[in-house]
Structure 1
Amino acid sequence: MKHFHVASVMLALSLTSTMSLAQSTTDYQDQAKLHDIAKAVSPERIEADIRTLVGFGTRHTLSETESDTQGIGAARRWIKNEFEQISQACGGCLEVYFQAKTISGETRIPDATEVVSVIAVQRGSHDPNRYVLMSGDIDSRVSDVMNSTSISPGANDNASGVAGTLEAARVLSKYKFNGSIVYAALAGEEQGLFGGKILAEQAQKDGWRIKAVLNNDMIGNIEGINGVINNTTARIFAEGTRQTETPEEARVRRFTGGEVDSPSRNLARYIDLMADRYIPNLDTMVIYRLDRFGRGGHHRPFNDLGYPGVRIMETNENYNRQHQDIRSENGIDYGDTIEGVNFEYAAKLTALNAVSLAGMAWAPAPPAKVEINGAVKPSTTLNWQALDPKQNPQLKGYKIYWRYTDAPQWQFSRFVGNVNSYTLDNIVIDNYFFGVASVSQDGAESPVVFPGAAGAFGE
């Protein structure tokens, strides 16, 4: 028994030493600019924008398009004008345009209707074809999804997301980034996610290298149908295995893992850490699901094409305020009115988007072609493709991350320099999940990339 005890102590000391070494090299270089960005987001500007959007009466996809004061046409023209004013203030740093397609023959759009989104692109300086994207939905609805004339304020769903996207553009347009940022006010969400489909398909056709889609759908409510009032949490929905996964990729994943390490999941982990680092009094819940149970949002069309994308939203929904005719019944007020929006909370979630977009746009691109090996060996080796130095002049090197297989967030890391291969001695591949991030000279990091097709962010 004495010998067993000594052996156990020695093993424990060895494991403690290994973990201490790992933890001692787990560091993150704080980014002062991201604190400044978070503080610059204005609840007052967000409130003003939501009130303006609510003032259009209805923003239903099939509603009035000729009026200057009512309907979806007036709303999208106002949004475009706001983006243009933001661009004017930054010396023309935004490319602002309508993106339109005529839809017909659909269950919720039976007759030919032009679905028009508003897109603003802030081009990166060195890698302009690498994109991170923030979106909100223009349209609103009442109980009857085909009712295009009744008053439909859509204050939280989803004027809050559009207002947040406009405010993020105001704040981030004051900076220059290596990669490009897209601010999108997407149309036709309630009628079938059409704005997102149009943008995703055009991006694929144009060869956009989209690394992140942050869809904001309802970011202003803090009073849940469950009676909970909470302004300190938010949810990040992220799909598991890619929709575009091939049978061969699925076969490989069965033996190597990756079910919880899709690019969308690691994008969500990145945003979760940004909340911890830069947004006071906000804890995000990463939810391992494409969206709320059986429901959908405008990140899904991007996921359908294989792009990393998540939904950011409030934690406690109030269904009495969603998709409802404005009325009072049995002492309950129904309808998505301005009274249901907490502007400070909407600003907090907007700030989370802004620092996440900025962090990724300043960082080098996520590593590509990450591979791993180490079966029946005492150590684990990772390899990846070196980033293009012309596109990534800010690159300092790469950081390897790892965690226990049942841990939700990356636990350990080691900066390994500007190399494209590294071996972690005495860290057994079977006991952890691994990934690689790229790091800039000033410490900005990309999301972590899990090895193989299961975790790839694309080329």
Structure 2
Amino acid sequence: MPRLSITAGLVAGLFAASSHAAPTAPDVTRHQAQIDKIVVEISPKRIDAYIRKLVSFETRHTMSDTTSDTTGIGAARRWIRSELERCGAGTSLQVSFDSHIAPVSARISRPTEIVNVVATLPGTQDASKDRLYVVTGHYDSRNTDVMDASGKAPGANDDASGTAAVMELACVMAKYKFDATLVFMAVAAEEQGLLGAGHWAKTAREKNLNVAGMFTNDIIGSSRADDGRVDNKQVRLFAQGVPATKEMSETVRQLVATGGENDSISRQLARHVKEQGERYVKGFKVNVIQRHDRYLRGGDHMPFLEQGYAALRFTEPNEDFSHQHQNLRTENGKVYGDLIEFVDVDYTAKVAKVNAAALASLALAPSAPQGVKVRTDKLVNDSTLVWQANPEPDVAGYRIVWRDTTAAGWQGAKFVGNVTEATINMSKDNYFFGVQAVDKDGNVSVASYPAPLR
């Protein structure tokens, strides 16, 4: 076990009675009863009903009918809102529309109102309620022609599956209390250029909202590949490393300078989601893909990434493109189109359970420590990390985590107590480090990567 020395102004004498005494660590491996209950409550039957209702609107194209009560995107968004209001009755869930007018552009032929349906579950801890975790699915749909606003486009998998998962998450989690705030969104106009998510993310940045993490669920409805293979035991989680920008921010520059390309805030969030998702959904793998999205493709997490937020994408392991962005038809005995018959709701429910476990664990845990740095003023083989104290009143202390430079996930951890500095006899030349905050119930924050302290 690595040797540790600990210093901090307020607790300098904590272990004076025994220089070898180790601080008592909360149990970070046990299941949280509240999270177990939430995961169990996620219902494939309800998810199936949500998807079927969304498909019944025939098309949810962004420029489709907004006045009908039975067809088009207007009817769809009004139903989503009413359903969230119904299931959130008697809880703290706050449901509203977030809208703006999109001007004419490559995929918008006339000025069009873009409407997101937003359900917010306010946090209950004063120190955490301004920290937000956002989860989305897009409720618009399309067929082969992205400008076809009247042809049938059921969009069962893309993305009624993700929208249904988000609705189920909101309805189940609204009955519980969390330290941080959860935002559940059915966003619009993904197919027309990520317009709904883009508007919300831009507004969030303008308001300086503390969005500590965002997930989008897009195409999470099928476990069957185009060659017939069934894989219902994993989901892909796309996580950006270094952003592809013309100029680097100072934060990104420090990542690159210290070899931390795999320690971006999105990769740190992905490690947390993988750990918590696999802990609470047994036999199901969260396969972290170290790309921002599928090869040269995109989704609603990208506007959040562009605004500097940590953001991830959930997608099924193997897409079947004959059931995606296709006009409904049968050719040579093969059925094309995004139909409900090709959706595996049990699989979608598993992905929703992973979302639920991750969101709940994030919203119950402290925030990621700020001001984390590693001392570089002396040439020594030990590594000394410093950080700012967390604001949450229930923080029990901090963990230093580490991994080999070739490893994707954390391989070791040491609880160092309620301190703001610790030294470990492992060289910063040979390992990557992170610092996590731990509360008294054993909830663990996302890790923070240390910048150099010269």
Same fold (TM over 0.5): yes
Q: Which residue of 1 aligns with 2:102?
A: 103
Deviation at 1:332, TM superposition (A): 1.5
What amino acid sits opposite 1:64 in the alignment?
D
Distance 1:302 1:223 in 2: 30
Tell me, yes or no, if the aligned pair for 1:240 and 1:260 is still in contact at 8 Å.
Answer: yes
Tell me, yes or no, if the aligned pair for 1:241 and 1:258 is still in contact at 8 Å.
Answer: no
* 1:157-213 deviation line (CA, Å, top 9, x unaligned): 000111000100111111101100000000000000001111101111222101110
Distance 1:167 1:393 in 2: 31
Distance 1:303 1:202 in 2: 14
Distance 2:162 2:284 in 1: 18
Q: Which residue of 2 aligns with 1:233?
A: 234
Distance 1:250 1:347 in 2: 36
- Determine if the alignment matches structure 1 residue 378 to structure 2 residue 390: no
Structure 2 gaps of 5+ residues are: 4-24
**How many residues are paired up?**
427
- Determine if the alignment matches structure 1 residue 28 to structure 2 residue 25: no
Alignment map for 1:188-337 (pairs within 5 Å): 188-242=189-243, 246=248, 248-337=250-339
- Alpha-carbon spacing, 1:27–1:404, altered in 2? closer, same or farther (3 Å): farther
What percent identity do the matched residue pairs reach?
43
- Alpha-carbon spacing, 1:248–1:268, altered in 2? closer, same or farther (3 Å): closer
SS of 1:316's equivalent? Answer: coil
Structure 1 gaps of 5+ residues are: 1-16, 20-24, 454-459
Tell me, yes or no, if the aligned pair for 1:416 and 1:422 is still in contact at 8 Å.
Answer: yes
- RMSD, aligned CA: 1.8
Tell me, yes or no, if the aligned pair for 1:222 and 1:345 is still in contact at 8 Å.
Answer: yes
TM-score with structure 2 length normalisation? Answer: 0.91
Q: Which residue of 2 aligns with 1:151?
A: 152
Tell me, yes or no, if the aligned pair for 1:327 and 1:335 is still in contact at 8 Å.
Answer: yes
- Determine if the alignment matches structure 1 residue 361 to structure 2 residue 363: yes
Tell me, yes or no, if the aligned pair for 1:29 and 1:442 is still in contact at 8 Å.
Answer: no
- Alpha-carbon spacing, 1:358–1:376, altered in 2? closer, same or farther (3 Å): same
Distance 1:112 1:399 in 2: 52
Deviation at 1:243, TM superposition (A): 6.0
Distance 1:252 1:363 in 2: 27
Distance 1:308 1:452 in 2: 18
Tell me, yes or no, if the aligned pair for 1:67 and 1:73 is still in contact at 8 Å.
Answer: yes
Distance 1:415 1:243 in 2: 36
Distance 2:241 2:34 in 1: 32
- Determine if the alignment matches structure 1 residue 187 to structure 2 residue 194: no
Tell me, yes or no, if the aligned pair for 2:28 and 2:443 is still in contact at 8 Å.
Answer: no
Moved more, 443-452 or 99-108: 443-452
Distance 2:351 2:168 in 1: 11
* 1:348-385 deviation line (CA, Å, top 9, x unaligned): 00011011111000001111111112563121111111
Q: Which residue of 2 aligns with 1:443?
A: 442
SS of 1:430's equivalent? Answer: coil
Deviation at 1:253, TM superposition (A): 3.0
SS of 1:108's equivalent? Answer: coil
Distance 1:49 1:253 in 2: 42
SS of 1:369's equivalent? Answer: coil
Distance 2:167 2:305 in 1: 23
Tell me, yes or no, if the aligned pair for 1:275 and 1:284 is still in contact at 8 Å.
Answer: yes
- Determine if the alignment matches structure 1 residue 427 to structure 2 residue 426: yes
Distance 1:417 1:263 in 2: 24
Q: Which residue of 2 aligns with 1:399?
A: 399
- Determine if the alignment matches structure 1 residue 77 to structure 2 residue 84: no
Q: Which residue of 1 aligns with 2:130?
A: 129
Moved more, 141-150 or 252-261: 252-261
SS of 2:106's equivalent? Answer: coil
SS of 1:36's equivalent? Answer: helix
Tell me, yes or no, if the aligned pair for 2:104 and 2:111 is still in contact at 8 Å.
Answer: yes
Distance 2:381 2:203 in 1: 47
What amino acid sits opposite 1:220 in the alignment?
G
Distance 1:27 1:379 in 2: 26
TM-score with structure 1 length normalisation? Answer: 0.90
Tell me, yes or no, if the aligned pair for 2:255 and 2:263 is still in contact at 8 Å.
Answer: no
Deviation at 1:36, TM superposition (A): 1.6
Distance 1:419 1:158 in 2: 46
- Runs of 4+ in structure 1 off by over 2 angstroms are 25-30, 242-255, 373-376
Tell me which protein shows more helix as a share of its residues: 1
SS of 2:89's equivalent? Answer: helix
What amino acid sits opposite 1:279 in the alignment?
V
Distance 2:451 2:420 in 1: 15
* 1:320-354 deviation line (CA, Å, top 9, x unaligned): 10000011112221100001111111110001101
SS of 2:204's equivalent? Answer: helix
